[in-house]
């Protein structure tokens, strides 16, 4: 069975919308369906309105936006590198964002004001993009880009480990470890306001890259001969992915496997066209993260199961299954 592309997008969008609704309706405060929606829209009843507007709505928005950003970044990087194993963490942005956050927690800056932690993470992410572009240079090949990304990622991970290693404060170390697991719990509208501009800008940058990624299927020389500006394409793709992954990690910590698995899963349904895979992976990523975030609340309502733990726990075996299938059928 094969869905036409618009139907595929509509189905993914519908799944995302239903899961968004589910995300609004699931939580420790037992509120009925009609009550919760009425409170969200009309603002009747003080406590319920507060729960809906300040707790569940930002959580659902962030779930959709971060999922979309991770799916889209994964599809972008797989397209640019012509490799189904590329994932958003490859260019080092997520580990650098984590390093920024860890520094903020360790130094106590994170407690200074509400957005100190995500801002520090964002600063880490942006610094890593600057270093990446500096290292790979304007004429840098795709290989230099990957190698620079791996280098930055390793350095950021090592520094994070060093901080944990030497941390004199067990509470800070504990907080760091939990933060790195990735979660959407207790996020506010401030987090939404901080992340959305970067996520939106990243998504906008992805649009002009779409067609060029299709041509890149034929390799860099053939793509350039059909009029693709490779330097511009690399810059657009890397900036877009870095902005989205940086902002996503800044507000939610590390949510793994979404950017790797979602494009892989949807590739054939998109006729393996990188341009079509972008929108599909964004919608698919949103649906997957929303579903995972509903699941963590249903599986362990009072244990604060971390989102990133669940996505990795489900994503990794699923990925192994995909590899087995790839071995049998080709990509």
Partner 1 sequence: MRLVLDHLTVRRGPCPVLHDISLTLAEGEFVGLLGPNGAGKTTLLRAALGLLPAGGHSSIAALPPAARARAAAFLPQGREIAWPMPVETLVALGRPGRRPEDTAAVARAIDRLGLAPLRPRRATELSGGEQARVLLARALAQEAPLLLADEPTAGLDPEQQLAVMTLFAGLAAEGGTVLASLHDLGLAARHCTRLIVLDTGRIVADGAPRAVLTEALLAGTFGIRAHLSEGPEGLIFQPLGRVAR
Q: Interface residues with partner 1 (CB under 8 A)?
A: 82, 211, 214-219, 221-222, 224-229, 267-268, 271-274, 330-331
Note every long-range contact of 228-235, with CB atoms under 8 Å and residues 24 or more positions apart, other chains counting: 231/138, 231/139, 233/80, 233/209, 234/80, 234/140, 234/142, 234/145, 235/133
Helix, strand, or coil (residue 85): coil
C-beta closer to partner 1: residue 31 or 72: 72
For residues 90 and 20, what is the distance between their CA atoms, to the nearest angstrom? 29
* Cβ 47 to partner 1 shortest distance, Å: 52
C-beta closer to partner 1: residue 75 or 119: 75
Q: Residue 43: phi, psi to the nearest 5?
A: 75, 40
C-beta closer to partner 1: residue 132 or 233: 233
* Cβ 273 to partner 1 shortest distance, Å: 6
For residues 161 and 2, what is the distance between their CA atoms, to the nearest angstrom? 46
* Cβ 265 to partner 1 shortest distance, Å: 14
Q: Of 248, 152, 304, 255, nearest to 160 (Cα)?
A: 152
* Cβ 174 to partner 1 shortest distance, Å: 44
C-beta closer to partner 1: residue 44 or 225: 225
Give the other-Cβ count within 10 Å of 324's Cβ. 10
Distance of CA 3 to the CA centre of its chain: 26
Token reading at 285:
């990523």
* Cβ 277 to partner 1 shortest distance, Å: 9
Q: Is 218 left (phi over 0), alpha (psi -120 to 50) or beta?
A: alpha
* Cβ 5 to partner 1 shortest distance, Å: 11
C-beta closer to partner 1: residue 25 or 224: 224
* CB within 8 Å of 300: residues ≥ 6 apart: none
C-beta closer to partner 1: residue 174 or 229: 229
* Cβ 139 to partner 1 shortest distance, Å: 9
- Residues 184, 59 contacting (CB under 8 angstroms): yes
C-beta closer to partner 1: residue 43 or 208: 208
């Amino acid at each position: 069975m094969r869905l036409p592309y618009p139907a595929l997008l509509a189905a993914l969008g519908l799944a995302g919308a239903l899961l968004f609704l589910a995300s609004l309706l699931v939580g420790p405060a037992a509120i009925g369906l009609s009550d919760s929606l009425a409170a969200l829209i009309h603002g009747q009843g003080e406590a319920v309105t507060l729960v809906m507007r300040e707790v569940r709505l930002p959580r659902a928005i962030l779930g959709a936006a971060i999922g979309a950003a991770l799916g889209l970044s994964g599809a972008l990087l797989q397209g640019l590198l012509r490799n189904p194993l590329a994932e958003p963490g490859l260019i080092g942005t997520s580990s650098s964002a984590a390093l920024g956050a860890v520094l903020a927690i360790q130094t106590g800056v994170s407690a200074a004001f509400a957005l100190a932690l995500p801002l520090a993470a964002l600063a880490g992410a942006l610094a890593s993009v600057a270093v990446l572009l500096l290292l790979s240079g304007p004429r840098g090949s795709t290989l230099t880009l990957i190698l620079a990304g791996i280098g930055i990622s390793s350095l950021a991970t090592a520094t994070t480990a060093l901080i944990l290693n030497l941390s004199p404060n067990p509470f800070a170390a504990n907080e760091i470890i939990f933060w790195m697991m990735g979660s959407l719990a207790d996020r506010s509208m401030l987090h939404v306001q901080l992340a959305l501009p970067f996520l939106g800008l990243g998504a906008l940058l992805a649009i002009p890259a779409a067609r060029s990624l299709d041509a890149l299927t034929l390799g860099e020389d053939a793509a350039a001969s059909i009029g693709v500006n490779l330097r511009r394409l690399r810059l657009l793709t890397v900036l877009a992915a870095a902005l989205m992954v940086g902002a996503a990690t800044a507000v939610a910590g590390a949510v793994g496997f979404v950017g790797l698995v979602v494009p892989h899963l949807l590739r054939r349904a998109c006729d393996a066209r990188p341009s079509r895979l972008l929108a599909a992976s964004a919608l698919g990523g949103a649906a997957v993260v929303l579903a995972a975030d509903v699941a963590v609340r249903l599986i362990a309502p009072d244990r604060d199961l971390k989102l990133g733990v669940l996505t990795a726990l489900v994503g990794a075996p699923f990925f192994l299954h995909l590899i087995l299938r790839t071995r049998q059928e080709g990509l």
